[in-house]
Amino acid sequence: MRLVTEDLSWISKIQVNQPAVLRRAQQIQARRTVKKEWQAAWLLKAVTFIDLTTLSGDDTFSNIQRLCYKAKYPIREDLLKALNMHDKGITTAAVCVYPARVCDAVKALKAVGCNIPVASVATGFPAGQTHLKTRLEEIRLAVEDGASEIDVVINRSLVLTGQWEALYDEIRQFRKACGEAHLKTILATGELGSLTNVYKASMIAMMAGSDFIKTSTGKETVNATFPVAIVMLRAIRDFFWKTGNKVGFKPAGGIRSAKDSLAWLSLIKEELGDEWLKPELFRIGASSLLTDIERQIYHHVTGRYAAYHDLPMS
């Protein structure tokens, strides 16, 4: 159902209490993390939420192949055996690549017998400053090539100038172009100007049919932060209370350490509950995070930190 302008008039009245959000963010960052076997269990869970990502200008079939192998085998088997987790089928949630590399990823995953989804960025990633017709065609081509998840970027200028109806219409068109593929909408929150705009953009994206809302492209100066996440998670909760529809959340950009991943899992558990702690509703966009998680697992099992040559690269 298409929303008319009157339905969006309430958006302009929304205000976010920034000091309260910042206080909540400080509480999260000050909290002590879980230790020992509890930490190992949470870190293995974190692996299953990772969209293992490569978005580089020098991507080739060979490094897409390595990425897909790592997605299928994210933690060394001997480490999983030591934890009695070798038969649990632990993989990352997806691999995420540029549209031109989707065919490579589909082929590489098939070669290793892995059926995890291929996610593709689209719509003029990362800036979103291309013609709408081009952005829509990019989605359709990625889906044709085998992407089952599409990470689109919004036109930030529509948020900054308060054109909520136009933003809604664009995302509806993205939704239609995706067909059966999941739509993950990147808000690029570091470029939206205020937490109030982050909340408004989150609501519009969900109303327009997004399956996930995502913090960042990873290419902005400011990427996934706790204040932004709190605002987006509260928007997801409000949307669920109003509609009964669960929308997923994906922080991305700057999440590099195992400790970071534990803080994000804890935040999701506290703000949205255990129902959201599954790959269908929570993802972490990352390229180097998995390396540090595997190092921490190695340390838990062996009592020492791995040298770089001890762990396979992705």
Catalytic residues: 214, 250
What is the sign of the dihedral through the CA atoms of 146, 268, 232 and 215? negative
Mapped onto helix, strand or coil, the DSSP state of residue 121 is strand
Angle at 312 between CA 311 and CA 314, to 5 degrees: 130
Amino acid of residue 205: A
What is the sign of the dihedral through the CA atoms of 291, 297, 303 and 309? negative
What is the sign of the dihedral through the CA atoms of 111, 114, 117 and 122? negative
Q: How many CB atoms within 10 Å of residue 264?
A: 21
What is the sign of the dihedral through the CA atoms of 208, 51, 53 and 295? positive
What is the sign of the dihedral through the CA atoms of 271, 33, 71 and 55? positive
Query: Which letter does DSSP use for residue 192 in this model?
Result: S
Gap between the Cα atoms of 287 and 46, Å rounded: 13
Kindly tell me the burial class for residue 78, based on how many C-beta atoms sit within 10 Å of its own C-beta (0-12, 13-18, 19 or more): exposed
**Main-chain phi, psi angles of 213, to 5 degrees:** -115, 140
* Residue with token string 């017998």: 113
131: which 2 tokens?
A: 């013609």
Gap between the Cα atoms of 12 and 54, Å rounded: 37
